[in-house]
Structure 1
């Protein structure tokens, strides 16, 4: 219930900051946290052997080739005026612009007359703190152009940019739709990295539980369970997204690109299965943790019970011979003290032998 309440509180905060009361549809309100005071715009142009990259701050670079495929990468969504200017220049619908700056969107694909909007989540896993950070990425495909919008100034598409710069693979010979696919594929590939890191954490947790589980182990399991729930919540819609992406008849997406998108859909299904598997593993680790704690508690209680059981007859003997009656038969026995010690030691040895035969110790 704690995890459900935490997720619910995050959703409520998202809804609270999503839009102002009474604002009409299409109103652009940035709902994220401002990471930088400036908005960086990177323009990549390529066509065959031609490649050129430009960068600017708080303004839109002018393209230098009419034949090249254009990729505008906007980093930082707090500059509403700039993003609105970019959207208007490339014919983006007002609802699409609203979704771009609303960073609490569900991953989806919107097929519009003016273009195709794809919203995906990017993840990074902080292993020391076991925290999963999320960033929304919006990809807008129009004729011969791709617009990407990132929350932070960091480059999530460094590998795609390097492939374009070094002319590696087929990306330069393909159109804008293939670039949009490559960008989504790049984000999905990073999901595997995050899942591998979570898997390593689960392996370490299993060794810790089997070795010397502590109270802090429970919080580690809780953090990983919450991270997997967040992953599942964002990855599940990707199956629908890639399905529409691969089956659409939109003229902006060619049949050649749809073949690669189908392969991407297989990757998404594989990731979904992995997340479900590791969720089961996490639940299993929690059950194992509870069992280990219970086993240790039972071991402690067993030891205390054995000690108590041994001292019950000894306490009885000491209590009997501790009574100061004058006519006690053994009171004046010459070796009575040593005989009593012998009897008590024999009781201890006999009970220990019986406990060992029962495999209690």
Structure 2
């Protein structure tokens, strides 16, 4: 079974996508919080009473480290494999003495939207989080752990798990705020001077909103499960916080749907603007063509070169024809002007 597991892991994680694994460990209780730079130091250290441990690992390159950490806390080998299958839909599984949650975490890093899988393992006195790459949305939680007056240190692992999920949802709102600004900029550009660059921007926003929708929606089911299921890992007191998390998720879903409708409306507006521009060009060309139709007729008549055409030998024939053509052109321009055709 172990050989099969290694084969599955090696075939589900592409080496070029894996970042070096970084680990951070916090062991805390109401009295204080201690951090460890490595898993070896954590295993050798003496822990205080009623300690809760949070182990956060970013990057999937060091599969042996990830497997050894999970094994130390009794996470089943088949469950660990879910960490490396990063294209999975968000889900929750109850294993009796622990809970596994797979969620999509989204945030901006160096101007680029990051969409990665975050694996969360929750036990009575531990939480393990594993992300695909370095970077996350948990900085506020780290700060709370260093604050002696914070509620985090006064609660257990289930409260920490709630905060982690809430931070992921907060990350969605940060992404939505940025996308909302981009939608406003695209709208201003459409109203002033629509171009292909604006259309490409709207298509990128549409794609980001689609990823966001697919990431948020399954969290709704996860929050409902945490609120209604009677797992021994989640205490009844935490269910009140989970209800707030559910409302938070529904707010993100509603905002995402609103932005998707706005984006679709702006793309329709762009197509309408381009169509109106084309219609205006065609109208101008039609007016010009209409003006030249009688002029072309006159020029065609006198270009037939028949012998018995007295105007051809008349001294003022050329001037008279040119004057007639000018009068006709002016009259037609006045006609189109009166009809407000331009």
2:169 equivalent in structure 1: 188
Work out whether 1:349 is the aligned partner of 2:311: no
1:94 equivalent in structure 2: 77
1:210 equivalent in structure 2: 191
Do the aligned residues in 1 keep the contact of 2:98 with 2:123 (CA within 8 Å)? Answer: yes
TM-superposed deviation, 1:332: 3.7
1:271 equivalent in structure 2: 252
Work out whether 1:229 is the aligned partner of 2:210: yes
Indicate the structure with greater helix content: 2
TM-score, structure 1 as length reference: 0.86
Do the aligned residues in 2 keep the contact of 1:59 with 1:82 (CA within 8 Å)? Answer: no
TM-superposed deviation, 1:265: 0.7
For 1:92 and 1:346, locate their aligned partners in 2 and report how far apart those are by CA, in whole Å: 93
For 1:350 and 1:144, locate their aligned partners in 2 and report how far apart those are by CA, in whole Å: 91
Q: Measured at CA, do residues 347 and 23 of structure 1 come closer, stay the same or move farther in structure 2, by a change above 3 Å?
A: farther
Do the aligned residues in 2 keep the contact of 1:31 with 1:104 (CA within 8 Å)? Answer: no
Per-residue CA deviations over 1:74-126 (Å, capped at 9, x if unaligned) read 22222222222111211112232111222122111111113011111111247
1:317 equivalent in structure 2: 298
TM-superposed deviation, 1:237: 0.6
Do the aligned residues in 2 keep the contact of 1:106 with 1:119 (CA within 8 Å)? Answer: yes
Do the aligned residues in 2 keep the contact of 1:108 with 1:237 (CA within 8 Å)? Answer: yes
Alignment of 1:163-312 (within 5 A): 163-167=144-148, 169-312=150-293
For 1:313 and 1:168, locate their aligned partners in 2 and report how far apart those are by CA, in whole Å: 90
TM-score, structure 2 as length reference: 0.90
Alignment of 1:51-70 (within 5 A): 51-56=33-38, 59=40, 61-62=42-43, 63=45, 64-70=47-53
What CA RMSD, in Å, does the superposition of the two structures yield over aligned residues? 2.3
Work out whether 1:85 is the aligned partner of 2:65: no
Work out whether 1:42 is the aligned partner of 2:4: no
Gaps of at least 5 residues in structure 2 are none
TM-superposed deviation, 1:35: 4.1
For 2:262 and 2:185, locate their aligned partners in 1 and report how far apart those are by CA, in whole Å: 13
Do the aligned residues in 2 keep the contact of 1:221 with 1:282 (CA within 8 Å)? Answer: yes
SS at match of 1:330: helix
Do the aligned residues in 1 keep the contact of 2:107 with 2:137 (CA within 8 Å)? Answer: no
TM-superposed deviation, 1:178: 0.3
Per-residue CA deviations over 1:290-333 (Å, capped at 9, x if unaligned) read 11111111111111111111111111112222333343233344
Per-residue CA deviations over 1:129-148 (Å, capped at 9, x if unaligned) read xx632111111111111111
Q: Measured at CA, do residues 168 and 138 of structure 1 come closer, stay the same or move farther in structure 2, by a change above 3 Å?
A: farther
For 1:126 and 1:315, locate their aligned partners in 2 and report how far apart those are by CA, in whole Å: 65
Do the aligned residues in 2 keep the contact of 1:47 with 1:172 (CA within 8 Å)? Answer: yes
Do the aligned residues in 1 keep the contact of 2:97 with 2:232 (CA within 8 Å)? Answer: no
Do the aligned residues in 2 keep the contact of 1:92 with 1:114 (CA within 8 Å)? Answer: no
Work out whether 1:114 is the aligned partner of 2:80: no
TM-superposed deviation, 1:71: 0.8
Per-residue CA deviations over 1:11-62 (Å, capped at 9, x if unaligned) read xxxxxxxxxxx9579954452554434x322111221131211112x74623
TM-superposed deviation, 1:188: 0.7
For 2:86 and 2:260, locate their aligned partners in 1 and report how far apart those are by CA, in whole Å: 26
For 2:276 and 2:41, locate their aligned partners in 1 and report how far apart those are by CA, in whole Å: 65
For 2:174 and 2:120, locate their aligned partners in 1 and report how far apart those are by CA, in whole Å: 22
